């Protein structure tokens, strides 16, 4: 008598989760940053980073404004409560401090410098409309719709065979309530035909914090550049 083959059950895997604290073997209570003598906090951080790396866990920081004391507080506090897969995978678990505690001074400075002004002046880069408000001001133009301003930027770039950014830097970032202002300077060469025109001046990018807690650009001014 031949018995019917039982139906195969769907293949499932159960991934074990644990906190980072548990992954490290539930170490004894970490020292309070306020109790660590001056000059030794950096050593404590290096030791903690080494322990994390040995367990294939890495914490990165983008903002240069984060102090050792704040980073140590985060690493020995809420970071330890984060949950990760504990499945024996050889892959690393990578985290970014800024995802949990954003630094608007650093973030807005980098956005203004490298994702706004640089994208406007570099022919190879395409301006990202998602960075801007639905309506915003740019140089000599008044209030433009988002797509109209992007068209202005692209038409400006098309007027030149090449645009050379010789110097571009940020100098000051200030935040007042829901408004942020980032300023800096530029030196840019514009090539058309056999002529190269050098333009230098200040630039300023202004942000506003939206109702969904996102910083959006509502004004851009680049001196000595006729868009």
Mean of per-residue pLDDT scores for the chain? 90
* CA-based nearest residue to 73, from 41, 33, 110, 109: 33
pLDDT tens column, 35-70: 888 788 899 999 999 999 999 999 999 999 999 999
The per-residue pLDDT for 214 is 95
Q: Answer positive or negative: Cα dihedral of 152, 190, 207, 143.
A: negative
pLDDT tens column, 158-195: 999 999 999 999 999 999 999 999 999 999 999 999 99
* CA-based nearest residue to 79, from 19, 147, 12, 125: 19
DSSP state letters, 151-166: HHHHHHHHT-SEEEEE
- Residue 109 and residue 115: Cα distance in Å, rounded? 10
Q: Domains of the chain, with CATH numbers? A: 17-99 (no CATH), 104-222 (3.10.450.50)
114 SS3 class: helix
- Residue 221 and residue 139: Cα distance in Å, rounded? 5
The per-residue pLDDT for 37 is 83
Q: What percent of the chain has a predicted confidence (pLDDT) above 90?
A: 77
> Is residue 138 exposed (0-12), middle (13-18) or buried (19+ Cβ within 10 Å)?
buried
The per-residue pLDDT for 39 is 82
- Residue 220 and residue 27: Cα distance in Å, rounded? 51
Task: Determine the longest span between alpha carbons in the chain, in angstroms.
Answer: 94
- Residue 29 and residue 46: Cα distance in Å, rounded? 17
* CA-based nearest residue to 85, from 26, 20, 15, 25: 15
């Amino acid at each position: 008598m031949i018995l019917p083959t039982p139906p195969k059950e769907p293949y499932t895997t159960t991934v074990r989760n644990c906190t980072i604290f548990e992954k490290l073997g539930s170490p004894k209570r970490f020292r309070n940053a306020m109790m660590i003598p001056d000059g030794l906090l950096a050593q404590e951080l290096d030791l903690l980073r080494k322990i994390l790396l040995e367990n294939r866990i890495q914490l990165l920081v983008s903002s240069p404004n984060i102090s050792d004391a704040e980073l140590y507080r985060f690493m020995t506090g809420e970071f330890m409560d984060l949950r990760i897969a504990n499945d024996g995978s050889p892959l690393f678990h990578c985290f970014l401090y800024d995802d949990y505690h954003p630094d608007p001074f650093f973030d807005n400075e980098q956005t203004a410098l490298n994702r706004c002004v640089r994208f406007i002046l570099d022919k190879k880069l395409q301006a990202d409309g998602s960075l801007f408000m639905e309506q915003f001001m740019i140089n000599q133009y008044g209030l433009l719709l988002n797509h109209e301003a992007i068209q202005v930027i692209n038409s400006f770039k098309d007027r030149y065979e090449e645009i050379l950014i010789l110097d571009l830097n940020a100098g000051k970032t200030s935040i007042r309530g829901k408004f942020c202002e980032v300023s800096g300077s530029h030196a840019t060469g514009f090539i058309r035909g056999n002529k190269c025109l050098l333009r230098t001046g200040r630039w300023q990018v202004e942000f506003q914090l939206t109702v969904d807690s996102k910083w959006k650009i509502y004004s851009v001014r680049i001196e000595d550049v006729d868009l």
